[in-house]
Structure 1
């Protein structure tokens, strides 16, 4: 039996993500939580003839507790969406508080669950979640993930003309670093199967992977951000975590983790100078089994990208930790 929970289930990412989880044969029970509209979303999804039983909860009547109790996997897309001209960092003040509150609920009601954080800025919200879980005495670094899969999905898609793959998802492209702008580093030199990118196309391709979210915000003319592609990416990562939990082997996914708490992560933390970093991670029954150091032998271009990413990440990580340890005045 697998119970998946979506916190922020009535939002732009939460609804399509909940639909994908409802349609998945891997999910037996689906708990939905949000501050508005969740019973309606749950009722709508419950009419779909798939395996999962769905229930929706609001904050009243111990809704968060009831949604989380018995959870195996918790996905958090809760928060306000990015608006035109807004950086992921602008979202920080609002979304940091939301994530902090929800993770306190996980610490209380589902401390053994795998926690998958989508809420931006991921570079900061994952450290926030870790600090909350540490204070509650239930932090397991192998079970906390920042979902960076959308960066991977975009990289796979945008290189299709060079990779030649009819199904772009069959190209493995490790995307390392973080999950915003220059902290996103696609390692095209490590792609499998390998392919060549023309020299005059490289910078634009990297920029498109790093700032693909802006492309969507602009195309939606202020009416939203990357919700559907993010829901797909969140589901893809959740599905990998569930498959690994069920015993499937050789599942490798780039994800933003607390390196010192994952086997193989210490060496990467020393090399990069940051404790939180997205690298390919082998997933297993207990979550993050091993962090894979893919940074050896990168190109000079990629080294420069990594330097910029690490510089940005240091500030993002400190900001998240400081938010919990030195709360802003209310």
Structure 2
């Protein structure tokens, strides 16, 4: 029996994410929360699908958030406003930080033992917000808090398959993506790709491919012409990561995937990563993580990287450090 909860279930990411979770046979109960009443319709609509999960919708009325969260095993948070043309993920912070903070308080007081998967952007800042709220409520378990960076991994797999010239291999391509989940903090390790890039690829081609992975979200924003950002691909990525967590809960071993995690989730593994990075300044980093029944089982080493990727890491660290500090400061700032 696994109860999954989606916070922000009526939104552009929330609806397709809820659909994908409803189709997952490992989920027995699916609670959908949103501040807009259409969430009830979404829940009824999904409840007609012939899969095991019982679906129920909730709004903020009558302690709906608390009821949705009660007994949760895994909570996925896509709540927030979407990115619009010209808006950076940092711009989103001003709006989404408050939303994520309030949801984190509710989780801390109602479902503190649940696995929490944060999609709400900017992930580099919203995950630290959740961590700080959990610390204040003395329920912080770094092994169970994840920033979902899977979309960067999915894009890397797709774009590499395109370069190879065979999209049929896209589901098999594995490219580790480390760092964070915005712009230059996204570091695709193309040198570690499971599938070799074409022999005639140049360094300029690699730089262009890296840039496309880092700023793939801008492609979607532009293509939607101001009507939205990446929703369907993000929902797919979120559901894929959630399934890995559920499979780990169920006892499957050997599951490895990148995720933005607190480095105390595996102190010995983190020490290796910090040594590879050449810095002790980061509390969070998107690492290759081995999952287990309790969450983060191991943080795996970054491994050998190219000189180009070394440059990407150096460029990412100060940006990532600032993003993390911004989230922490939002929670800990003195109240006027």
**Which bin holds the TM-score, normalised by the shorter protein?**
over 0.9
Which residue in the other structure is 1:311 paired with? 318
Helix, strand or coil at the partner of 1:62: helix
Q: How well do the aligned residues superpose, as a CA RMSD in angstroms?
A: 1.3
Superposed CA offset, 1:160-200 (max 9, x none): 13445623121111000000000000001111244354323
Identify which of 163, 185, 196 aligns with 2:187.
185
Structure 1 segment 47-58 matched on structure 2, within 5 A: 47-58=48-59
CA distance in 2, matches of 1:203, 1:327: 43
Question: 1:267-286 residue pairs with structure 2 within 5 A?
Answer: 267-272=272-277, 273=279, 274-286=282-294
Contact kept? 1:165, 1:171, Cα under 8 Å: no
Residue deviations 1:258-307 (CA, integer Å, cap 9, x gap):
0123241233235433121001100010011001112x321110000011
1:325 matched to 2:326? The reply is no
Gaps of 5+ in 1: none
| Matching residue of 2:8 | 8
Counterpart of 2:178 in structure 1 is 176
Deviation at 1:100, TM superposition (A): 0.4
Q: Residues 181-236 of structure 1: CA distance to partner in whole angstroms, max 9, x if unpaired?
A: 00000001111244354323111101100000000000000011000000000000
Report if aligned partners of 2:152, 2:181 keep a CA contact under 8 Å in 1: yes
- 1:328, distance to aligned residue in structure 2 (A): 6.9
Give the conservation status (yes or no) of the 8 Å contact 1:260–1:269: no
Aligned residue for 1:166? 168
Specify the alignment match of 2:132 in structure 1. Answer: 131
SS at match of 1:145: strand
Whole-Å separation in 2 of the counterparts to 1:13 and 1:327: 33
* C-alpha separation in 2, matches of 1:238 and 1:88: 23
Tell which deviates more after alignment, 270-279 or 283-292.
270-279
Task: Report the CA distance shift for 1:76/1:280 in structure 2 as closer, same or farther (over 3 A).
Answer: same
Contact kept in structure 1, 2:182 and 2:214, CA below 8 Å = yes
Q: For residues 284 and 172 of structure 1, what CA distance do their matches in structure 2 show?
A: 20
TM-score, scaled to structure 2: 0.95
Q: TM-score, normalised by structure 1?
A: 0.97
